[in-house]
Amino acid sequence: MSVFHVELKKVVDDSYPIEVGFALEAGLIEDLKDGLVGNIRKFAVITDSIVKDLYAQNICNLLRQSGYETDLFVFEAGEKSKTRETKAMLEDQMLEKGYRRDCCIIAVGGGVVTDLAGFLAGTYGRGVPFINYATTLLAAADASVGGKTAVDTPLATNLIGLFYQPQKVYLDIATWKTLPKEQIASGMAETIKHACMASREFFDFLKENISDILSIDRKACEYVAEENCKIKYHVVEQDERESGLREILNLGHTVGRALETVSGYRLSHGEAVSVGMIAQMKLSHRLGYMTLEQIQEVSDLLAAAGLPVRIPDDIDRDALVRKLYTDKKVKNGVLRFVVQRGIGDVVEFEKGNFATPVAEETAREIIMEL
């Protein structure tokens, strides 16, 4: 018997820039010419059936005009496309077109596109560079920091995937103008969550500028994108592997995710999280961390952003309570919630622990009155 040691200690630098601006297509091409991804000349542009005509085809054209080899790979828009089957279909199309290890993937779209294309990039030829051209507020709030990529399976959301970092992220505010209202609202739910958990100042900005933001005022929206990145980065930087601090990003998501599922996805993720934020704040109030006035303030902002603040009447509340137990924060069969402290902070119950056990009866009471 003998033991042989494989030593693989090394310094890895996955740093990348996020550019926030208005119509960044030309800037992307300039960056490529300046060597953003080295000598690569071949670009697979991955997008969905909606974003294709809006932005992706144009990016493809610009790439071609600059002498790059490129093809557009399109899948049907919607969360239901975020599957292993769509990933395999795109891989096969890329292989058929001769894409090998010397290519770069450009994801053009919202969270579904960047999650799927990022995962694909991370496993194509055991990892090729990828660039994230994000066209939604939700992607700005959620998908552009953290390196999480994934697909859904029949039995689990986002469980099959990778941590894989892009070479650069573009948050193009101009593209938000073509977003449906519900998509903006969905993004605002995560944005307000970020403000609630980390910055009273950002919360006040959102309150004062909500109508500018909803009408996609350039300056207001750029600030929103930047603050979202900063707050999420601050959390992720301190906890890259989702052990401690990262749990606070789950604020409002315990009830939110369960509601999304129980509604049969009739409520969008953002709408469900909005209601989940209210549930979480009612719990925070019971535990003495929030006043009723503060709850009202957040609730007013959520409503102003076009988000629901109570559970629709036709939702089966008992099913909702049962569904809470599939939350990933559940430990030893006990529900756990992240809890807000006033506006702009969360409660750290003990060092590194940001979620507190909650009796089912308490959760049920809050849900019944919501």
Binding site for a copy of itself (CB under 8 A): 1-22, 24, 84, 88, 91-92, 95-96, 100-101, 119, 122-127, 145, 147-148, 150, 153-156, 159-163, 165, 222, 226, 229-230, 233, 237, 240, 328
Least spacing, CB of residue 353 vs a copy of itself, in Å: 17
Identify the bridge partners of residue 340 per DSSP, sorted by sequence position: 346
Residue whose pair of structure tokens reads 């009447």 in the numeric block: 313
Least spacing, CB of residue 3 vs a copy of itself, in Å: 5
Measured from the CB atom, is 220 or 315 closer to a copy of itself? Answer: 220
Least spacing, CB of residue 237 vs a copy of itself, in Å: 7
User: How many other C-beta atoms are found inside a 10 Å radius of the C-beta of residue 322?
Assistant: 13
Least spacing, CB of residue 75 vs a copy of itself, in Å: 16
Measured from the CB atom, is 182 or 212 closer to a copy of itself? Answer: 212
Nearest alpha-carbon partner for 350 in 214, 228, 217, 245: 245
Measured from the CB atom, is 193 or 232 closer to a copy of itself? Answer: 232
Measured from the CB atom, is 95 or 292 closer to a copy of itself? Answer: 95
| Inter-axis angle of helices 181-198 and 269-286, nearest 10 | 30
In the 3-class helix/strand/coil scheme, how is 207-232 assigned residue by residue? HHHHHHHHCCCHHHHHHHHHHHHHHH
Measured from the CB atom, is 11 or 293 closer to a copy of itself? Answer: 11
Least spacing, CB of residue 233 vs a copy of itself, in Å: 6
3-state SS assignment for residue 367: helix
Residue whose pair of structure tokens reads 């909650």 in the numeric block: 358
**Distance of alpha carbon 259 from alpha carbon 275, whole angstroms:** 8
DSSP element (H, E) containing 63? helix 57-65
Least spacing, CB of residue 367 vs a copy of itself, in Å: 25
Measured from the CB atom, is 82 or 148 closer to a copy of itself? Answer: 148
* DSSP label at residue 98: T
Least spacing, CB of residue 120 vs a copy of itself, in Å: 9
Least spacing, CB of residue 58 vs a copy of itself, in Å: 19
**Distance of alpha carbon 213 from alpha carbon 193, whole angstroms:** 16
3-state SS assignment for residue 39: coil
**Distance of alpha carbon 240 from alpha carbon 261, whole angstroms:** 27
Q: How far is CA 105 from CA 125, 171, 253, 259, in A?
A: 12, 17, 31, 34
Measured from the CB atom, is 37 or 315 closer to a copy of itself? Answer: 37
CB–CB of 192/343 below 8 Å?
A: no
Measured from the CB atom, is 31 or 271 closer to a copy of itself? Answer: 31
3-state SS assignment for residue 314: coil
Q: Which burial class, exposed, middle or buried, applies to 42 when counting CB atoms under 10 A from its CB (0-12, 13-18, 19+)?
A: middle
**Distance of alpha carbon 255 from alpha carbon 173, whole angstroms:** 30
Least spacing, CB of residue 145 vs a copy of itself, in Å: 6
Measured from the CB atom, is 121 or 275 closer to a copy of itself? Answer: 121
